[in-house]
Amino acid sequence: MKKYSVAPNADVTGWFVKLEDVAPEEEYAAKDDAIAAATKMAQENSPSKVEILDKDHNIVEEKRY
């Protein structure tokens, strides 16, 4: 199962989408855009999950596809 994460950058001015906690795939200005992109990637690479993280990198939401 692939794991995608959506996490804010250091000063919370952008949001990163990462695959398996490696180098960021993309950076987005809006959290909703990052979540939508991660969801699309996860759905295309099922089975996978999306973890949405807060500024402290705690999981606040998890979705499975």
Phi and psi angles of residue 7, each rounded to the nearest 5 degrees, phi first: -140, 145
pLDDT in tens, the chain (65 residues): 999 999 999 888 999 999 986 777 789 999 999 999 999 999 999 999 999 999 998 999 999 99
pTM (2 decimals)? 0.88
Q: Strands of 59-64's sheet, edge to edge?
A: 24-28, 15-19, 2-8, 48-53, 59-64
Q: Helical H runs in 1-65?
A: 31-44
Calpha distance 41→34 (Å, rounded): 11
Query: Which residue ranges make up each domain of the chain?
Result: 2-64
Two tokens at 46? 């099922």
CATH topology of domain 2-64: TTHA1013/TTHA0281-like (3.30.2390)
Two tokens at 45? 């690479």
